[in-house]
Homo-oligomer: A and B are copies of this chain.
Amino acid sequence: MQIIQSRKELRQGIKNARSDGKTIGFVPTMGFLHRGHLSLMRRARKENDLVVASIFVNPTQFGPNEDLEAYPRDAQRDIDLMTAESVDIAFFPTVEALYPEGYTTFVDVEGPMTQVLCGQSRPTHFRGVTTIVAKLFNMVAPDRAYFGQKDAQQVAVIRRMAADLDFDLSIVVCPIVRETDGLAMSSRNTYLTPEQRENAPQLNKALIMSREMVEKGERSGPAVRKAIESRINGVNGAVIDYVAVVNAESLAELQTLEGKVLIALAVKFGTTRLIDNVQIDVRDQLA
């Protein structure tokens, strides 16, 4: 595995692969890799000749009072894990290289899609995400880019951005990877106290319950949302940021469930904010 810090060197690597006719798969991450990230790399490895993964804790997607400084980092561990997944190029850019003095350009998906759900409590988050992803797409010029379904809103926003700005690539979305007790993998899980960690799987349990409600015929968005809220309000130490029942592509709130439905939530345990979701394809079933 090549470990690359400079854009120039990255571009040379990409250019060489391209001139050999190789396809390129790209996995952008903020590092502190867990099995969720590794599943993306494995999928990219299967589908492409060259696999590039980036490790960059992107400052523009953190708000002023968020956990940018505290965000867990362990480059050596990440390198070992990527090596084991047969990643070809590990790209570790510096903040100074990607956001030099005088940097002023931002890519923004405007409108409700970035204002609802996580956008409500993190108003500049997705602008940071789309900006860094557009930059990385331009640097890596991949055929396929891999994202985890855990960040469902991020997936919808990046799909929108990639289509709107005519990026010539496929967005590949991989399923949520969970701990054995159901907690969705996240680098932020390391923040949890033992007691919070014990209660955190209740988020997944609430989502499973909601899916079962829908499977049994429930079609009211508010009814599903309230059932989840009521369940999570009973979990020790859990403070709801949002529970949302929305169209999976537009993220518009649904009164009546139909089509591709996303049920998503963000819940705080102390200062740690966890997100999780379930996607359900609701077909009209005639009685």
Q: Does A7 contact B (CB under 8 A)?
A: yes
Check: A282 CB closer than 8 A to any chain B CB.
no
A164 partner, pick from B11, B104, B165, B167, beta carbons under 8 A = B104
Interface-located stretch among A69-77, A107-115, A220-228: A107-115
A105:B168 contact, CB within 8 angstroms: no
Q: Which residue of B lies closest to A106 (CB)?
A: B108
Partner of A105, one of B11, B104, B105, B165: B165
Copies in the assembly, this chain:
2
A18 proximity list for chain B (CB < 8 A): 18
Binds B, one of A29-37, A132-140, A207-215: A132-140
Q: Does A80 contact B (CB under 8 A)?
A: no
* B7, A164: Cβ atoms closer than 8 Å: no
B7 and A166 within 8 A (CB): yes
Within 8 A of B (CB), among A157-172: 160-161, 164-168
Which residues of A1-53 have CB atoms within 8 Å of chain B's CB atoms?
A: 7, 11, 18-19, 21
Bound-state CA distance A111–B102 (Å) is 10
Nearest-neighbour CB distance to chain B for A162, whole angstroms, equals 9
How many residues on A have C-beta within 8 angstroms of the other chain's C-beta atoms? 33
Structural contact, B110 and A139, CB atoms closer than 8 A: no
Contact indicator A165/B134 (Cβ below 8 Å): yes
A129 touches B (CB below 8 Å): no
Q: From residue 94 to 149 of chain A, which have CB atoms closer than 8 A to chain B?
A: 98, 102-111, 113, 130-131, 134-136, 138-139, 141
Contact of A104 among B111, B136, B139 (CB under 8 A): B111
Q: Which residue, of A139, A160, A164, A167, has the highest number of chain B Cβ atoms within 10 A?
A: A164
Are B165 and A135 touching (Cβ within 8 A)? yes
A205 to chain B, nearest CB (A): 35
Q: Are B105 and A164 in contact (CB under 8 A)?
A: yes
Query: Please, which residues of chain B bring their CB within 8 A of the CB of A109?
Result: 104-105
* B168 x A138 contact (CB < 8 A): yes
Interface centre among A102, A138, A161 (most CB of B within 10 A): A138
The answer to whether B138 and A105 have CB atoms under 8 Å apart is: no
- B-chain residues with CB within 8 Å of residue A168 when the two chains form the complex: 11, 138-139, 141
Query: Chain B: which residue is nearest A112 at the CB level?
Result: B104
Q: Apart from A104-B110, A105-B160, A108-B108, list 12 A-B contacts with CB within 8 A.
A: A98-B166, A104-B111, A104-B113, A105-B107, A105-B130, A105-B161, A106-B107, A106-B110, A107-B107, A134-B134, A136-B166, A138-B165
